[in-house]
Amino acid sequence: MPADIIILAAIAIFIFLRLRGVLGTRDGHEQNPLEPKNNAVIIPLTDRVVQLRPENLQEETKPEEDNLDGLAPEIAEAVQNIRKIEKSFNIKDFSEGAKAAFEMILNAFAKDERDTLKMLLAKPIYENFIAALDERKSAETKEESTLVAIKSAEITAINLEKHRARVTVKFLSEQIHITRDATGKIIAGDASALDEVEDIWSFERDISSSNPNWSVVEV
């Protein structure tokens, strides 16, 4: 088997395992999670384990709720409104899932992994990323960004219109930015210097749907 096919197969398995690790709650009526709708990003809404004891078999385990103290009143109210429809919605778990999606997307962009980006991004965002990748390939110099660490993922706004929820997240990360010439020599930046970067992304989902996927709609 050609080496390039083996490499592509390994990448596909890696992506599958990462996505499977951030699947949302399922009730048995969802679409196949390996067939994401609208190029959606999969964000976990709950992270709990049901212990298989006899007393638990006939009783649904309730998700652990966030402590809403300290949140802006409008965000706390929005969370409570979402929970009226999506009882398992949890800020802590959502933030962790958003961080996982953020990391996968930035790494895929850095490595020009277009199939990965297509799976994780909504169409308009995906097209913007592809345009940037094409411009980078045609440039005489090459700018490189490496994600080192995600320091925080703070939910700054939540809006709910009917059944459509939109969650805005502010990411604070450490990244390395350098520029190389055609020979690969670094001509700008420092490969050992960390830059603190702030990004604001928005995710949307119809929370009345059985599909657990959240779409990245703005970056």
**Closest of 155, 191, 190, 148 to residue 173, by C-alpha:** 148
How far is the first Cα of the chain from the last one, in angstroms, to the nearest whole number? 39
**Locate tokens 């649904």: which residue?**
60
**Structure tokens that stand for 23 in this block:** 């699947």
What pLDDT sits at residue 213? 81
DSSP class per residue in 109-137 = HHTT-HHHHHHHS-HHHHHHHHHHHHHHH
Evaluate if pTM is beyond 0.85: no
Flag whether pLDDT at 22 surpasses 90.
no
Mean per-residue pLDDT, 55-76: 65
Q: What is the pLDDT of residues 140-191, one digit of tens each?
A: 899 999 999 999 999 999 999 999 999 999 999 999 999 999 898 999 999 9
Total domain count for the chain? 1
Query: CATH number for the domain including 128?
Result: 3.10.450.240
Q: Any idea how long the chain is?
A: 219
Residue-range definition of the domain harbouring residue 40: 3-218
Distance CA 47, CA 10 (A): 27
Distance of CA 40 to CAs 34, 67, 77, Å? Answer: 11, 28, 26
Q: What is the longest distance spanned by two Cα atoms in the chain?
A: 67
Strands (E), 162-194: 164-180, 186-189
State the Cα–Cα distance between residues 158 and 43, nearest whole angstrom.
15
